[in-house]
Structure 1
Amino acid sequence: MSKSAEFITFYLGDFFFGIIATDVMELNRDLKITPVPKSPKTIRGIVNLRGEIVPAINMHERFKLDSSCPEDGSISIILQSGNLTIAALVDDVGEIIALHQDTFEPPPKNFPETSKELIVGVHKLPNRLLLIVDAKRIASDLTQPQYLHQPEQALLALQQ
């Protein structure tokens, strides 16, 4: 008997991605994002998630995709990335799909380097390819300013 897992699917432009459902804490639409000066391009800003300051990651920028994440109407996938909670900003969220391990394959060798570090593999579906993202790698190599680890620093920066 093969193992199966559930994936939350989402879209960035025409690309179809999935994150293992156990890494996703919740989905939010239209969270107020506060820009943070001098933050890396991949960090659109920060959001206040019930008192916790959470970085909002522009997934278009993170994957180095040509199109940009819409300023309004983006959907935030709130997830744990290592010991850091992040809001991954995506264009749209799809369905939850249960997939068996026997349809899983390593990422193609012709993937761009940026994608290779984030994509752990693919599932071949009947009419498309589902790219599986490792949630723990999304924030792994970002130049993380000190305020991402110390929320009080972010609050001070916003008050200035």
Structure 2
Amino acid sequence: MQSHSSQGSAHASGKEVAGSEFLAFTLGSEEYGIDILKVQEIRGYEAVTRIANAPEFIKGVINLRGIIIPVIDMRIKFKLGTPVYDQFTVVIILNISGRVMGMVVDSVSDVTTLMPDQVKAAPEMGTAFNSDYLVGLGTIDERMLILVDIDKLMSSGEMGLIENLAT
């Protein structure tokens, strides 16, 4: 009953009815989506400068127009096999609460608009992402996007290490 009332209020206030845009990217065989508003730009993968004693998932830092930003390899972070860097590998430059950081992914496919009724709650299952970081599952025809709350993920405790590296 409560879900109907909250859904009704969302429609009444005009929020989310227009749908939300997500940038779709792949890690291994899974397709993920993050809020397009968090994405600053998408760049091809380039060599990074390693930082001594940084966790393995932090590839290093790059100089982005005079700003030193940390780069996280999501495949290493979520133990999705050995990363391969090829012509499809990209770095998604994110702006999370005023902090700029890069996220290495296998490839980026498109920007997708999902209506509220296309987003389902994520079941408890063994995905690479802790369910705390999942928004839900977006479905478009036969396609399914695992929607990630990139704000929560990048501001989680272990990612706090990144702040120390960038300063």
TM-score strictly above 0.5 = yes
Which residue is 1:137 aligned to? 152
Post-superposition Cα deviations, 1:37-76, rounded to whole Å, max 9, x if no partner, equal: 11012201111111111111011122232x2322454200
Quote the sequence identity (%): 28
Offset from partner CA, 1:92-122 (integer Å, 9 cap, x none): 0001111101111121112448431322211
Give the Cα separation in 2 of the matches to 1:109 and 1:11.
21
Q: Contact 2:79 / 2:128 at 8 angstroms: preserved in 1?
A: no
The RMSD of aligned alpha carbons is 2.0
**What residue is the counterpart of 2:97 in the other structure?**
82
AA in 2 matched with 1:39 = A
Paired residues, what number? 149
Q: Are positions 1:70 and 2:81 aligned together?
A: no
Unaligned runs of at least 5 residues, structure 1: 151-160
TM-score, normalization by structure 1: 0.82
In 2, the alpha carbon distance for the partners of 1:61 and 1:137 equals 18
Mean alpha-carbon deviation: is it higher for 104-113 or for 123-132?
104-113
Equivalents in 2 of 1:138, 1:148: separation in Å?
17
Q: Which has the larger radius of gyration?
A: 2
